[in-house]
């Protein structure tokens, strides 16, 4: 068994136990919580991923996610019976990385977990070959070796997904990147009808963290009918 720990937060015993069994078969260590409070008590930096039910008895999974985001960038996968677009967008806004609607297929869950880990591990290790250690743009600095971002001398905590999107935009400065391209590159999954919303929500969240005025973005611009871009010329 490898040392990767996954926290499962789910109040329905049958679902919790079958999730745990499935993940143990896939050689992950699992820790279980039956409500939001105990999830936050149990959460520690050595937890690599969180599977989070939205409807918990004591608090909403969205609030649990927001509290986890104050101290960690570990990937969060929401499990939700509520599948409306508003719910899904809200899940991304509070820092979730992916979601799966109940009932779900075991194969889909493990595929999504593997994809989240691929993203997270690739960007959190310095093992991949990089010539420069950092991408700079005006007062913004983005490490190429791990998920670390600095703006105006202040460290900005980005989720792994936000980091990947920002890095892609910085590496392709001057090119408008379509939501489809961004989704396929960052999520590494086929683009579906609601995928451009997923990208949009993450762009919105990046703007909130990086722009002086997120409603009039200077860094991540919208190229009408083309997508998103960071211009080639650095703005003062």
Q: Report the nearest approach of Ca ion to the CB of residue 114 (Å).
A: 24
Per CB under 5 A, the segment of 29-37, 46-54, 154-162, 206-214 that binds Ca ion is: 46-54
Q: Report the nearest approach of Ca ion to the CB of residue 39 (Å).
A: 12
The three-class DSSP label of residue 65 is helix
Residues 6+ apart with CB under 8 A from 112: 77, 98, 100
**Number of amino acids touching Ca ion (CB under 5 A):** 3
Q: Cα separation of 17 and 23, whole Å? A: 10
Q: Cα separation of 133 and 210, whole Å? A: 20
Q: Report the nearest approach of Ca ion to the CB of residue 19 (Å).
A: 12
Q: Report the nearest approach of Ca ion to the CB of residue 14 (Å).
A: 11
Q: Report the nearest approach of Ca ion to the CB of residue 184 (Å).
A: 32
Residue of 5, 11, 40, 150 that binds Ca ion (CB under 5 A): 11
Closest CA to 54 of 44, 69, 64: 64
53 versus 162: smaller Cβ distance to Ca ion: 53
77 versus 158: smaller Cβ distance to Ca ion: 77
Q: Report the nearest approach of Ca ion to the CB of residue 68 (Å).
A: 17
99 versus 137: smaller Cβ distance to Ca ion: 99
Residues 6+ apart with CB under 8 A from 3: 29
Does residue number 15 form part of the binding site for Ca ion (CB under 5 A)? no
Subset of residues 53 to 112 that bind Ca ion, contact rule: CB under 5 A: 53, 55
19 versus 156: smaller Cβ distance to Ca ion: 19
The three-class DSSP label of residue 33 is strand
Map tokens 């609607």 to a residue: 101
52 versus 230: smaller Cβ distance to Ca ion: 52
Both structure tokens of 233: 């010329």
Side-chain half-sphere CA neighbours of 208 within 13 A: 12
DSSP E strand stretches across the chain? 5-9, 29-33, 47-53, 76-80, 98-101, 134-137, 140-143, 149-151, 154-156, 221-223, 227-229
42 versus 81: smaller Cβ distance to Ca ion: 81
Binding site for Ca ion (CB under 5 A): 11, 53, 55
């Amino acid at each position: 068994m490898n040392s990767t720990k996954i926290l499962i937060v789910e109040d329905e015993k049958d679902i919790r136990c079958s999730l745990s069994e499935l993940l143990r078969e896939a050689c992950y260590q699992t820790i279980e919580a039956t409500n939001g409070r105990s999830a936050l008590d149990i959460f520690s930096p050595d937890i690599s991923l969180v599977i989070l039910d939205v409807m918990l008895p004591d608090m909403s999974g969205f609030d649990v996610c927001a509290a986890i985001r104050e101290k960690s960038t570990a990937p969060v996968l929401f499990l939700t019976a509520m599948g409306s677009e508003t719910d899904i967008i809200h899940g991304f806004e509070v820092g979730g990385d992916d979601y799966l609607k109940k009932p779900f297929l075991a194969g889909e869950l493990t595929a999504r977990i593997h994809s989240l880990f691929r993203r997270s591990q690739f960007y959190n290790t310095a093992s991949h070959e990089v010539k420069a250690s950092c991408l700079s743009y005006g007062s913004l600095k983005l490490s190429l070796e791990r998920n670390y971002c600095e703006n105006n001398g202040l460290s900005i905590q980005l989720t792994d997904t936000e980091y990947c999107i920002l890095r892609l935009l910085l590496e392709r400065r001057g090119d408008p990147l379509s939501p489809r391209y961004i989704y396929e590159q960052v999520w590494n999954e086929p683009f579906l009808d609601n995928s451009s919303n997923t990208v949009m929500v993450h762009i919105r969240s990046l703007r909130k963290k990086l722009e002086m005025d997120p409603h009039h973005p200077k860094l991540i611009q919208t190229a009408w009918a083309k997508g998103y871009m960071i211009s080639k010329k650095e703005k003062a």
